[in-house]
Amino acid sequence: TRYMIGNRPLAGQKILITAGPTREPLDPVRYMTNHSSGKMGYALAEAAAEKGAEVTLISGPVTLEQPANIKNYIRVGTANEMFSAVKDNLANQDIVIKSAAVSDYRPKTYEDKKIKKGSGDLNLTLTRNPDILQWIGKHKNDNQIIVGFAAETNDVMENGINKLKKKNMDIIIINDVTRADAGFGTDTNCVTLIDKKGNKKDYPVMPKKELAHVIFDYITHDYSDSIT
């Protein structure tokens, strides 16, 4: 296979990984976010570096330490900041993995003074954030392998396969976030991987750090073999 070089099968490969949530401010003291811990993305970054890749990690706000041996570590807050960091770093990447849980919406207006409470309800208007992965799918070149995640609570497989196609991904990793041993915040994960050729793999529950290696083994062996 094309990447096998001793025990550093990703040597010479440039890999871009996004991780964690994004944080969308409403005023100087408040923001919207989600439950992403960044553990899956950081495990992927660490595994890629261990396997010899040149890693760029773009991270939303998380409490994790910067993984060892990362070439390029970029911290961002909002989805728009993550989007521009991705655009700045996309060229020349061989593999892009979007494990970040990007906020789909942000408050439409940012109040630069703290919003004071009134007696009635407070209505917020939210506006759509850019879909970073969909943009990557449109602008990728033929040699780039694009890997996305899907976080689902219902119709898990069907929704996941639809996202794979809609965003022009090569591989999707589908997460049922209703499971206690998978998804947000946990140290373990349980996923199904589907690629654009229709190959499907169900993996058992395992630590995120181990799953990260399993995902790269899939990319360097099964996936690359099936496209060459």
Examine residue 95 and tell whether it contacts ligand CTP (CB under 6 A).
Answer: no
The answer to the question of residue 163 lying near ligand CTP (CB under 6 A) is: yes
Amino acid type, 59: S
Q: What is the DSSP letter of 174?
A: E
Give the residue from 53, 29, 105 showing the smallest Cα distance to 216. 53
Q: Cα-flanking dihedrals φ and ψ of residue 54, to 5°? A: -95, 105
Residues contacting residue 58 through CB under 8 Å, at least 6 positions apart: 16, 17, 18, 19, 74, 76, 82, 85, 86, 89, 100
Considering the complex, what minimum distance in angstroms separates the CB of residue 52 from Ca ion? 32
CB-CB neighbours of 70 under 10 Å: 20
Asked if 150 is part of the footprint of ligand CTP (rule: CB under 6 A), the reply reads yes
The region of 52-60, 145-153, 190-198, 215-223 touching ligand CTP under the rule CB under 6 A is: 145-153
If we measure between CA atoms, which residue out of 26, 24, 22 comes closest to residue 112? 26
Asked if residue 163 belongs to a known ligand binding site, the reply is yes
Instruction: Choose the stretch contacting ligand CTP; rule: CB under 6 A; options: 37-45, 94-102, 107-115, 217-225.
Output: 94-102
The response to whether 104 counts as a known ligand-binding position is: yes
As a whole number of Å, the end-to-end CA separation of the chain is 8
Sequence letter at residue 185:
G
129 binds ligand CTP (CB under 6 A): yes
Is residue 96 involved in binding ligand CTP (CB under 6 A)?
no
> Does residue number 106 form part of the binding site for ligand CTP (CB under 6 A)?
no
Min dist. Cβ of residue 115 to ligand CTP (A): 25
The stretch near Ca ion (CB under 5 A) out of 26-34, 36-44, 87-95, 97-105 is: 97-105
Q: Residues at the annotated binding site for CTP?
A: 104, 114, 130-133, 149, 163, 167
- The residue ranges that bind ligand CTP (CB under 6 A) are 79, 98, 100, 102, 104, 129, 131-133, 148-151, 163
